[in-house]
Structure 1
Amino acid sequence: MALAPQNVGHTTSKAGEAGLVARPYLLAFALVTSLFFMWAIANNFNDILIKQFQKALDLTRMQSGLVQTAFYFGYFTIALPAGWVMTKVGYKNGILIGLALYATGAALFYPAAEVRQFGFFLLALYVIAAGLAFLETAANPFITAMGPKETAAQRLNLAQSFNGLGGFVAPFLGGALIFSGVEHSQQELTAMSPAALDAYLASEAQAVQLPYLGLAAVVLALAALIFFARFPTIPEDGQAAQQTDGPDRSIWSFRHLRWAVVAQFFYVGAQVGIWSYFINFAQDAVGVGEKTAANYLGFSLMGFMIGRFAGTALMRFVSPERLLVIYGLIAAALCAVAIATTGWTSVIALGLTSFFMSIMFPTIFALGIEDLGDKTKLGSSLIIMAIIGGALFPPLIGWTADQAGSIHTGMAVTLVSFLIIVAFGMAMGRRRADGVARG
């Protein structure tokens, strides 16, 4: 297939008259939206892996948090190269590259489990994340371009709702396919013979092989569908749509983009931190087994999915930046309750944060790339790079939990993060109120 560039930017006003999604783009919208579901599966399988690797590889909570470090470091290092590649080969070909990397990383889980080396697993996760960096760098701005500018945040929240669906499915699926339900105490492990202990650890490590091979197969099938599908040509921001103030204007001169990068860093850090340790949190708070705790995480992510659809509907009546402020304040309050209480109250409070996190990523993204013109691709890459927050927060939370003897203490980091998101939403509200068109 020829690697012809496929221009993506804001639609013309004529296309914008077609509604939330312009009619010529419906098939492409559906296919690209399916990507949101698929990368949610990879993201939220990590929450299962953290607990599984603590058991199968005898890791501390801080060490297991490196699962997210490797994963989100992949986003950080590949986002800018992905944006550059897509300026050369187009968004559709960028998506195909991303899916190929995704499938390769998932397939690497098989040999990693055979040798039982944590570093090998981290390499596989890095490759998966490199693929997802391509997918997110392409899909997010592509979705915003498939209709009128005024409904870009609403349209992206709709597509991201299917990311919520994937997030809801992943803990149930991962818990059922990966967790054995067999959990030995340290005393029981010490009492085992070397052969019995090795057999137990080997079986737990190999539990990830078939689920990840299946994931690779599904990803390759989706790549085949996209390869043969015809994608529309959407006018380039810098050509048929708006220009920025000049070719020499620095990308960092856009104040709202700078704010969005900071907000996305703290949002992803908070989200990944909460979900990564939710299973540990629930087990510590109410003493349930790993499979039950995974199901509770699934119910929390069901709230995330519902929140995405509800947020899309609410944005017909409430501006995206105002809804972001409201949701951020509620999420911060719930974190405070989770930290200050114990038992079911703390678990329910932490679980409910997922509903209010639901709109944050797509809303921050859409507000951040607004009015960037021909610098939209670069701005998109920078916001995706901010996902590095997901690499840094889990080990920090895990280390705090190891030191304090309680996972509750580490959640203070997430409370502060939500307050920073509130500040971003308020800044975007002032920008809209002042009628600022650029930066």
Structure 2
Amino acid sequence: MASTISTGANTVSSGGNGSYRFALVSLTSLFFMWGFITCLNDILIPHLKAVFSLSYAEAMLIQFCFFGAYFLVSLPAGKLVKKLGYQKGIVTGLVIASIGCLLFYPAAALAVYGLFLGALFVLASGITILQVAANPYVNALGSSETASSRLNLTQAFNALGTTVAPFFGAVLILSVASGATAELSHAQAEAEVVKLPYLLLAGMLALLAAIFAKLSLPTITEHAEPTEAGGAVTHNGKTSAMQSLHLVLGAVGIFVYVGAEVAIGSFLVNFLGEAHIAGLPEAEAANYIAYYWGGAMVGRFIGSAVMQKVPAGTVLAFNATMAALLVLIAINTDGMVAMWSILAVGLFNSIMFPTIFSLALRDLGPHTSQGSGILCLAIVGGAILPLIQGLFADSIGLQMSFMLPVVCYGFILFYGAKGSKM
């Protein structure tokens, strides 16, 4: 017998609590997959940097194209998800992401950097649609009071994907690349090694699309409150999500958070390879990235429990403070201290994205889909800030370029302490 779960301005129609729990369990596979795929960029960057003899700024075009898709696709994705519903939106995103992975095959065969960037854009477009659909879906599957805790729990599986990906990339990309055959040109031989990993990912995404097309998941209906004029939809006197200051500031928070997290992850292999830090070869340094992303996984499980008792904004402010301090230590020291300080930032990054996301979507009612699209659009920070840090690294040195993430964590501290309450 069907039941209805009320979540503020949302109604979740389901087959009971069992169906509700089943939906959350099913969604964890999506969070795992897009975390895995996103983290592979951290392996792809040093690999393609070496293959095509790129500068730091040129190598960061990988993140620019990947996260630039969020800027271009998020708002259309929000409209698409509103029209199709969350489940069909998820299936659409999975299919597009699978196509993007398949495009790595011709890019590798031709050994053209621009084709890799195009494939990444298509792949990221599919991931964007997944983000726009899955994040607010998890947010709505339960009470608003525990939304941050719930989203942190599912995002922990996103972090599990980012933890596993470096080992996968190190074995199938960096290690294979070091023994690439001499029968091909150097660039082509090195580029060829990405074919198998991305073909495997294409198959996994296509399989998930088929599974989600068949699943019976709860349906979310957003209450609409037409104005007297009969046109715009209002909620708490507002006709747009952009009229909510806590959402606008949350979008800035997502922008700087994703930018800082991606920038640090993108430069880790090169940072750990510096002679005065650890002097590690690429394949070995890639394994250490797992500590950065593994910290995020552990932190999200801890954060999910802590935020059952402690206000989400307070936890966010504390974590931002700790992350900034650790980056400052990494900038001002050498050797193992600098290495483990930068890796430990992942532990405190852990709860930031899902916490900012859920705080920003609070009380948006019928504007939740629009708000989710705006927040996902802000993920473009992952395209812009790593590119800026790449320019800094080329001009003032790699270690000093990490001052940019410190500034980002300063804003997140403000949002957790005050901005989310405005």
When the two structures are superposed, what TM-score results if normalisation uses the length of structure 2?
0.92
CA contact (8 A) 1:237 1:243 kept: no
Who is 1:61 aligned against? 56
**Partner in structure 1 of residue 229 of structure 2:** none
Matched, 1:274 2:264: yes
Aligned residue in 1 for 2:235:
244
Q: Residue 407 of structure 1 aligns to a residue in which SS?
A: coil
Name the SS for the 1:211 alignment partner.
Answer: helix
Residues 228 and 120 of structure 1: CA distance in aligned 2, closer, same or farther (over 3 Å): same
Say whether residues 1:123 and 2:113 are aligned partners: no
Which residue in the other structure is 1:156 paired with? 151
1:8 and 1:234 in contact (8 A); partners too: no
Q: How many residues align?
A: 408
Give 1:15 shift: 7.9
Give the C-alpha shift of residue 399 in structure 1.
1.6
Distance 1:208 1:360, change over 3 A: same
CA contact (8 A) 1:112 1:120 kept: yes
**What is the one-letter code of the residue matched to 1:372?**
L
Shift of the 400–197 alpha-carbon distance from structure 1 to 2, 3 Å rule, reads: farther
Structure 1 residues 138 and 65 mapped into 2: Cα distance closer, same or farther (>3 Å)? same
Which region of structure 1 is more displaced relative to structure 2, 26-35 or 279-288?
26-35
| Distance in 2 between residues matched to 1:238 and 1:110, nearest whole Å | 46
Deviation at 1:249, TM superposition (A): 2.4
Instruction: Name the structure 2 match of 1:415.
Output: 406
Decide whether aligned partners of structure 1 residues 8 and 170 sit closer, same or farther in structure 2, where only a CA change above 3 A counts. Answer: farther
Q: TM-score, normalised by structure 1?
A: 0.88
Aligned with 2:361 (options 346, 359, 369): 369
1:176-235 per-residue CA deviation (whole Å, 9 max, x = no partner) reads: 110137669xxxxxxxxxx95963322210110000000000111111111111111233
Q: Give the letter aligned to residue 118 of structure 1.
A: Y
Task: Determine which of 190, 201, 210 is the counterpart of 2:187.
Answer: 201
* 1:10 alignment partner in structure 2: 7
Distance 1:13 1:381, change over 3 A: closer
Residue 390 of structure 2: which of 386, 390, 398 is its match?
398
Secondary structure of 1:234's counterpart equals strand
Matched to 1:403, the amino acid is: S
Q: Check if 1:76 corresponds to 2:68.
A: no
Could you say which residue in structure 2 is the equivalent of 1:294?
Answer: 286
SS state of the match for residue 287, structure 2?
Answer: helix
Structure 2: 5+ residue stretches without partners: 226-232
Q: 2: distance between equivalents of 1:58 and 1:183?
A: 15
Q: 1:24 to 1:181 in 2, by over 3 A?
A: closer
The alpha carbon displacement at 1:268 in A equals 0.4
Partner-residue secondary structure (3-state), 1:77: helix
Is the partner of 1:235 in helix, strand or coil?
strand
> Following TM superposition, by how much is the alpha carbon of 1:14 offset from its aligned partner in structure 2, in angstroms?
10
Other-structure match for 2:35: 40
> In 2, Cα distance between the equivalents of 1:351 and 1:71?
23
CA contact (8 A) 2:12 2:221 kept: no
Show the counterpart of 1:218. 204
Give how far 1:164 is off. Answer: 0.7
Q: Deviations over 1:133-161 (max 9, x none)?
A: 10000000000111111101100000000
> Quick check: 1:98–1:134 contact (8 Å CA) kept in 2?
yes
Report if the CA contact (8 A) 1:262-1:386 is conserved.
yes
Alignment pair present for 1:144 and 2:139: yes
Residue 253 of structure 2 is aligned to residue 263 of structure 1: yes
Offset at 1:28? 1.6
Amino acid in the other structure paired with 2:243: S
Q: CA deviation at 1:22?
A: 4.5
Which residue identity does 1:279 align to in structure 2? V
Q: What is the CA–CA distance in structure 1 between the aligned matches of 2:391 and 2:37, rounded to whole Å?
A: 24
Give me the whole-angstrom Cα distance separating, in 2, the residues matched to 1:364 and 1:343: 33
Q: Is the CA contact (8 Å cut-off) linking 1:22 and 1:147 kept in structure 2?
A: no
Task: Call closer, same or farther: CA 1:387–1:282 in 2, change over 3 Å.
Answer: same
Q: CA deviation at 1:378?
A: 0.2
Question: What is the one-letter code of the residue matched to 2:370?
Answer: L
Deviation for aligned residue 1:383: 0.5
SS at match of 1:231: coil
Give the aligned residue type for 1:357: N
Q: Which amino acid aligns with 2:39?
A: N
Conservation of the 8 A alpha-carbon contact between 1:15 and 1:148: no
Structure 1 distance, partners of 2:128, 2:245, is: 24
List alignment gaps of at least 5 residues for structure 1.
1-6, 185-194, 432-438
- CA shift for structure 1 position 11: 6.5
1: CA distance between counterparts of 2:17 and 2:305? Answer: 18
Query: Which has the higher mean CA deviation after the structures are superposed, 411-420 or 83-92?
Result: 83-92
Distance 2:379 2:5 in 1: 23
Inter-CA distance 212–407: structure 2 relative to 1 (3 Å threshold)? same
SS in 2 for 1:371: coil
Contact 1:303/1:355 (<8 A) preserved: yes
> Paired residue for 2:381?
389
1:11–1:147 CA contact under 8 A, matched in 2: no
